[in-house]
Amino acid sequence: MDELVELSYLDAVVRETLRLHAPVPSTVRVAMKDDILPVDTPFTDKYGVVHDGINVRKGDSIFIPILAINRSEAIWGTDAKEFNPDRWASLPEVASQVPGVWGHLMTFLGGPRACIGYRFSLVEMKALLFTLVRAFEFELAVPASDVGKRSTLVQRPFLRSDPESKSQLPLLVKPYRKTSGLS
Ligand code: HEM
């Protein structure tokens, strides 16, 4: 554990993976009563009326776009859709306003019904990466363009050439051989 915690680049890679590829891309909440949701910045509706809150009625569904927030250019900058672990070295200030339970991200949601397994997930991801990436080389066994994502609650990969089959991601796995570059 101590060794894993000290690896700052591994930490940045895990954060960036969970930002860009949040396994749960969205969720829904249902309003328990008529209410007004406060907004940070007033907005103008299609009739030209300015609002500083969103009226909801009891029973309304409220869509929470986890992945869209994680990839928002307004928060993460123009390269928001790129995989860049280095961004975690200096976070944009606005990211600190994201109300996620972990990492300035919505990946594990926030509030009283946020994910209770997030610490376990982080350690597990780090331990797997630390062990597997140093021991093996991974390569896609199919063209990247053949890999699609489908989602019920959790996003999973499938093959566009084999859409009837269950989720799959064929990989070629080889033992890692360190090459010195010297002959
Ligand atoms: C990368 C892995 C994981 C991600 C991205 C994730 C994400 C989430 C999200 C977004 C929610 C809220 C869903 C909703 O209410 O609509 C949630 C809830 C929950 N998660 Fe996770 N989760 C992960 C792993 C785990 C693990 C490993 C556990 C258990 C060991 C776990 C246990 C739970 C439980 C019990 C809830 C329901 C909490 C409640 O409703 O009060 N999760 N998770």
Per-residue model confidence (pLDDT) at position 182: 58
CA of 124 to the centre of ligand 1 (A): 14
Nearest ligand 1 atom, CA 28: 16
Ligand 1 atom nearest 22 alpha carbon:
5
**pLDDT value of position 31:** 96
The residues spanned by each domain of the chain are: 2-31+56-135
Per-residue pLDDT of the chain (183 residues; tens, 9 = 90+): 888 989 999 999 999 999 999 999 999 999 999 999 999 899 999 999 999 999 999 999 999 999 999 999 999 999 999 999 999 999 999 999 999 999 999 999 999 999 999 999 999 999 999 999 999 999 999 999 999 999 888 999 999 999 999 999 999 999 998 776 554
Pocket of ligand 1 (CB under 6 A): 23-24, 27, 107-109, 113, 115-117, 120-121
Closest ligand 1 atom to Cα of 27: 16
Q: Are strands 27-30 and 50-56 parallel, antiparallel or unpaired?
A: unpaired
Atom 22 (ligand 1): residue with closest C-alpha?
A: 115
Pocket test for ligand 1, best of 20, 67, 115, 125 (most atoms within 8 A of CB): 115
pLDDT of residue 181: 59
**Nearest CA owner, ligand 1 atom 39:** 113
- pLDDT value at position 151? 85
